[in-house]
């Protein structure tokens, strides 16, 4: 979910139209996921669902569940961070690696998160038969797939935009690669990375619910956690249970925010690249507490020094021996070899895919999936439009009143982080009770969680709107519709686009959860691509899951490239004064 959050830190996008690279990368991702999945699928015969701990619906069990869920989130976050460093660094440093890694990342982040889950769960479960480690890892991996991509993107964007003068200074000091990484690159990327970690976290909460109670084909797993609790509550039509889960989740997110992200943001403030002092310095009582605790500091000192020393150590690779340095094959030759290799692996992968799909799929399947995709696309477009009409005026109204904005902004951010799927049962309960048409009334669920991105970005835009523009508009007595069209809307446009991109990406992702929902034995389906994937997942029909996921990726990428990126570029260009 939360894809393209990197735009929030003002990084530039390069390409605007879909290129051959996207096609190639789509192919690669699909192939890897399918090969992993089908390979593991064959082993599934040996799999015996282990003694699973029974999930309790007692509210007393919730704190322990919340803790387990949070631990999974943290583990996934750490994994995402490591992945980010390992993946984005070569992508930014090597031209040849970049041609593969970046389009791949683009596709990876447009694959709906639950698409990974259905393929990888079997793999992980069969990796550690007989223990709960397999399902645990599968859940963590699912959360990881909701978190990692935009972090890697943000890091990559930072690496390629390292200011020239700092780059030259580091080179003239002759920093080793290791020193450069920790002294220049990581600190420079830190603000964007922290922001994206927060975005990732909200994405993770959303899918933690889905990834703890896994049901793929004949595999049924329920890991102890809030997600399983909710799943059970839904199964047993326990509305009070759902209520308790919502309370637990709210408290968990608040604690997490206070204990982890607030301090992180306050700490990362020193990595801001602007040389001017900030008007509002982010603060955190936790960080102040730790900074003020002298005993703790005393204990922490040796650790701090050890970390510092290791980050400052040269750790340079041995210099290339002279004969190797002198041996430099012509660039073109290496290029030809590299692209030849890529082409060959592509051919192999393509053949495998065809072999996999041919016996199981027909063109009829493709037509159905694409038709469903169009339906979901229609929903996304209408919902974004609706959310825009509702939240833009409200956001502007709030943003222009600093006192109010100060109070509303954290609430909007909290709502964006809150896993909206916890509220789905409530909605389903209402739909069933009033016998509403699920095709229409299930749709708003898609945007329930992500509409807040529009709201808080618009608030941010309106608060940042220069007051002299407003005063000029007032002194020329520009009012009413003209005021919106000529003054305010152009002013908040770049912020709005950023919010809308995130909201639309999130809506696509959420469609899998929201187009097909259940309440006890009652199953509601809104049809659409999300419902299609959900249905196929339940049936364990791998070729069709793959098809659905592929179609969704194509829709998302196309929409990003043809609509959002040009809009974003336009916003960047038009609203710049210099």
List residues binding other proteins (CB under 8 A). Answer: 163, 165-166, 168-169, 171-176, 179, 183-184, 187, 190, 270-277, 309, 312-314
189 to 25, 62, 158, 185: CA distances (angstroms): 26, 37, 5, 6
DSSP bridge partners of 213: 222
DSSP strand pairing (213-216 vs 522-525): unpaired
In the complex with other proteins, the residue whose CB is nearer, 93 or 312, is: 312
Give the Cα separation of 549 and 544 in Å (integer). 8
CB of 86 to other proteins, least distance (A): 23
CB 379 within 8 A of CB 543: no
In the complex with other proteins, the residue whose CB is nearer, 131 or 308, is: 308
Give the Cα separation of 507 and 501 in Å (integer). 10
The residue with tokens 């791949």 is: 104
Per-residue DSSP letter, 271: G
In the complex with other proteins, the residue whose CB is nearer, 289 or 313, is: 313
CB 129 within 8 A of CB 47: yes
Helix (H, G, I), strand (E, B) or coil at 216: strand
CB of 183 to other proteins, least distance (A): 6
In the complex with other proteins, the residue whose CB is nearer, 13 or 271, is: 271
Q: Which two tokens stand for residue 438?
A: 């699920």
CB of 312 to other proteins, least distance (A): 5
In the complex with other proteins, the residue whose CB is nearer, 16 or 171, is: 171
Residues 6 or more apart whose CB falls under 8 angstroms from that of 508 comprise 112, 376, 380, 552, 555, 556
In the complex with other proteins, the residue whose CB is nearer, 316 or 440, is: 316
Q: Which two tokens stand for residue 399?
A: 């943003």
Per-residue DSSP letter, 476: T
In the complex with other proteins, the residue whose CB is nearer, 313 or 562, is: 313
CB of 161 to other proteins, least distance (A): 15
Residues 6 or more apart whose CB falls under 8 angstroms from that of 193 comprise 84, 151, 154, 155, 158
CB of 268 to other proteins, least distance (A): 9
CB 89 within 8 A of CB 150: no
| Cα angle: 46, vertex 549, 345; to 5 degrees | 80
Sign of CA dihedral 79, 82, 88, 91: negative
In the complex with other proteins, the residue whose CB is nearer, 277 or 298, is: 277
In the complex with other proteins, the residue whose CB is nearer, 322 or 433, is: 322
CB of 180 to other proteins, least distance (A): 9
CB of 84 to other proteins, least distance (A): 19
Half-sphere exposure (Cβ direction) of 478: Cα atoms closer than 13 Å? 14
N-to-C CA span, the chain: 34
In the complex with other proteins, the residue whose CB is nearer, 169 or 385, is: 169
CB of 20 to other proteins, least distance (A): 21
In the complex with other proteins, the residue whose CB is nearer, 49 or 176, is: 176
The residue with tokens 């009012």 is: 479
CB of 528 to other proteins, least distance (A): 39
Half-sphere exposure (Cβ direction) of 476: Cα atoms closer than 13 Å? 11
The rounded radius of gyration (Å) of the Cα atoms in the chain is 25
CB 274 within 8 A of CB 164: no
Q: Which two tokens stand for residue 13?
A: 């996008």
CB of 22 to other proteins, least distance (A): 24
CB of 142 to other proteins, least distance (A): 34
């Amino acid at each position: 979910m939360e894809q393209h959050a990197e735009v929030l830190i003002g990084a530039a996008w390069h390409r605007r139209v879909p290129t051959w690279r996207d096609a190639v990368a789509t192919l690669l991702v699909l192939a890897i996921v399918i090969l992993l999945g089908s390979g593991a699928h064959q082993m599934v015969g040996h799999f015996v669902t282990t003694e699973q701990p029974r999930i309790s619906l007692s509210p007393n069990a919730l704190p322990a569940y919340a803790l387990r869920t949070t631990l999974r989130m943290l583990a996934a976050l750490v994994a995402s961070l490591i992945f980010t460093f390992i993946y984005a660094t070569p992508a930014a440093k090597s031209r040849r690696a970049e041609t593969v890694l970046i389009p791949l990342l683009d596709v990876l982040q447009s694959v709906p998160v639950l698409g990974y889950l259905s393929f990888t769960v079997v793999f992980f479960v069969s990796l550690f038969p007989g223990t709960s480690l397999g399902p645990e890892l599968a859940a963590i991996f699912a959360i990881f797939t909701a978190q990692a991509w935009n972090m890697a993107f943000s890091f990559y964007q930072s690496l390629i935009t390292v200011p020239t003068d700092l780059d030259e200074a580091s080179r003239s000091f002759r920093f080793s690669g290791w020193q450069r990484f920790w002294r220049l690159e990581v600190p420079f990327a830190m603000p964007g990375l922290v922001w994206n970690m927060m975005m990732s976290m909200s994405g993770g909460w959303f899918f933690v619910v889905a990834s703890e109670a896994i049901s793929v084909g004949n595999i049924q797993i329920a890991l102890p956690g809030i997600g399983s609790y909710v799943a059970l509550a839904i199964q047993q039509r326990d509305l009070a249970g759902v209520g308790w889960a919502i309370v637990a989740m709210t408290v968990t997110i608040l604690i997490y925010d206070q204990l982890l992200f607030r301090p992180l943001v306050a700490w990362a403030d020193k990595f801001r690249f602007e040389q001017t002092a900030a008007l509002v310095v982010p603060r955190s009582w936790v960080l102040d507490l730790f900074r003020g605790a002298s005993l703790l500091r005393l204990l922490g000192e040796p650790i701090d020094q050890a970390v510092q020393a290791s980050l400052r150590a040269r750790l340079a690779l041995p210099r290339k021996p002279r004969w190797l340095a002198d041996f430099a094959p012509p660039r073109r030759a290496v290029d030809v070899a590299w692209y030849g290799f890529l082409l060959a692996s592509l051919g192999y992968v393509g053949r495998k895919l065809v072999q996999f799909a041919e016996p199981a799929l027909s063109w009829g399947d493709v037509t159905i999936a694409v038709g469903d995709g169009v339906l979901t696309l229609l929903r996304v477009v209408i919902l974004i439009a609706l959310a825009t009409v509702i939240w833009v005026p409200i956001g502007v109204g709030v943003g222009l009143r600093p006192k109010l904005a100060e109070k509303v902004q954290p609430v909007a951010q909290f709502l964006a982080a809150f896993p909206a799927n916890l509220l789905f049962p409530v909605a389903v309960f209402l739909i069933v009770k009033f016998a509403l048409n699920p095709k229409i009334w299930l749709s708003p669920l898609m945007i329930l969680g992500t509409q807040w991105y529009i709201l808080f970005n618009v608030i941010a835009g309106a608060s940042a709107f220069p007051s002299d523009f407003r005063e000029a508009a007032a002194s020329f007595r520009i009012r009413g519709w003209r005021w919106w069209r000529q003054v305010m809307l152009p002013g908040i446009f770049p912020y709005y686009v950023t919010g809308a991109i995130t909201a639309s990406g999130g809506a696509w992702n959420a469609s899998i959860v929201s187009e097909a929902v259940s309440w006890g034995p009652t199953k509601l389906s809104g049809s659409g691509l999300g419902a299609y994937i959900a249905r196929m997942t339940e049936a364990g029909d791998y070729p069709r899951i793959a098809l659905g996921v592929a179609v969704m990726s194509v829709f998302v990428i196309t929409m990003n490239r043809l609509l959002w990126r040009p809009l974003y570029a336009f916003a960047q260009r038009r609203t710049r004064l210099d």
